[in-house]
Amino acid sequence: MPPTRPGIDQFWQKADHDDSGQHPLERELDEHVDALARYRRLIAEAESNGRDEAATILLRQIEREEASVDRLRRALEAARAR
């Protein structure tokens, strides 16, 4: 049995409950893509304000978020291929 992922499992349950026409993974992907856009804005603001340490922290976070987006895209493609 695969390990549980409380955040994503809860997301699937809510999507099923809401009876959304959008695939739950697609909705999750959209949220992460939005987060990437927010991180990019925050990084640009930090850099323009000379807050290099904050920009460095945000760059590490955006790398993790990009990895999540990649995993979700692959999972969504696999789900659609079934």
Please give the DSSP secondary-structure letter assigned to residue 2. Answer: P
At 60 the pLDDT is 95
Please give the DSSP secondary-structure letter assigned to residue 3. Answer: P
At 45 the pLDDT is 97
Q: What is the pTM of this model?
A: 0.70
User: Does the pLDDT value for residue 1 go beyond 50?
Assistant: no
Please check whether residue 29 lies inside any domain of the structure.
yes
> Among residues 24, 35, 30, 31, which one has the least CA distance to residue 79?
24
Please check whether residue 10 lies inside any domain of the structure.
no
- State pLDDT tens for residues 35-62: 999 999 999 999 999 999 999 999 999 9
Average pLDDT, the chain: 85
Please check whether residue 14 lies inside any domain of the structure.
no
Report the domain count for the chain: 1
Question: Which domain covers residue 40, as residue numbers?
Answer: 23-81
AA letter at 21: G
At 23 the pLDDT is 83
User: Does the pLDDT value for residue 9 go beyond 80?
Assistant: no
